[in-house]
Amino acid sequence: MVQDALDDTVRLKAALRQLRWLLTSFQGSGIEQFHRQEGAPAPKQEALEEPVDRVVEGDRASDLAQVRQELGDCRRCRLHATRTNLVFGEGSAEAGLLFVGEGPGFDEDRLGRPFVGRAGKLLDKMIQAIGLRREDVYICNVVKCRPPENRTPEADEVAQCSPFLFRQIEAIRPKAICALGLSAAQALLGRTTSMGGLRGKRFQWRGTPMVCTYHPAYLLRNPAQKAAAWQDLRLLSRLLNEPRTKAEL
């Protein structure tokens, strides 16, 4: 019985967080007001006094664990057939900053962890450059299984996997998102612009500030672009230091 009550509480909190997230998303889209339909009953005052802004410690971690559980031994797209390990993501569930890459590479597939090869080492340096440690942030990818020969994920693979990415972001509710590379930027923004047209600007993903920059693997091949990536990291750092609104807590 106690367990049932706890389960109900967890479900209620999850519903409230989703509602708050939705409202924040509407705000991010420029929608500031809602109008009650004529004749509809007025909400009771006591219902509005629910302390929806209080974040209970551990909620993010349990929400994230639930997403992982639902993903399970996923076979929703063809990429499952060639993977060694599904790479869900890693880092702090309380992270203020969330990085999204394209998909696992050779080393990631082998170890089941995101960004662990040469590109991962460069990402670690990028994180340190803005005064953070890898364990302070959360790192994941658009697709959780390695595309053969590291090819770009197909649109249907992204369509199958990205809902789990979105739910990871919603579970963590970071203060800012950094899309690493064009695939991640396009999956989050739904645009087909070039990275040159996306980087250096502030975007929003469902109300959360977002910056796009070059993928570390691209930077290893094109070190001349590191200066531009550094500018993007400085923008990201500014977003992280902006005061957080009540709705974003």
- The contact set with ligand SF4 (CB under 6 A) reads 71, 74-77, 79-80, 86, 143-145, 157, 160-161
- Shortest distance, CB of residue 138 to ligand SF4, whole angstroms? 17
**Of 144 and 173, CB closest to ligand SF4:** 144
**What own/partner pairs with CB < 8 Å and gap ≥ 24 does 227-230 have?**
228/199, 228/200, 229/126, 229/199, 230/129
- Shortest distance, CB of residue 144 to ligand SF4, whole angstroms? 4
135: which DSSP letter? G
How many other C-beta atoms can be found within 10 angstroms of the C-beta atom of residue 126?
A: 23
**Of 79 and 198, CB closest to ligand SF4:** 79
**Of 15 and 155, CB closest to ligand SF4:** 155
Angle at 19 between CA 16 and CA 22, to 5 degrees: 150
- Shortest distance, CB of residue 139 to ligand SF4, whole angstroms? 16
| Strand stretches in 11-148, DSSP E | 90-91, 97-101, 138-141
- Shortest distance, CB of residue 160 to ligand SF4, whole angstroms? 4
**Of 74 and 220, CB closest to ligand SF4:** 74
The first and second tokens of residue 190, run together, are 């739904």
| Strand stretches in 40-134, DSSP E | 90-91, 97-101
- CA-to-CA distance for 5 and 181, rounded, in angstroms? 44
**Of 84 and 237, CB closest to ligand SF4:** 84
- Shortest distance, CB of residue 67 to ligand SF4, whole angstroms? 11
**Of 79 and 229, CB closest to ligand SF4:** 79
Closest CA to 126 of 61, 216, 47, 195: 216
CB 207 within 8 A of CB 24: yes
- Shortest distance, CB of residue 161 to ligand SF4, whole angstroms? 3
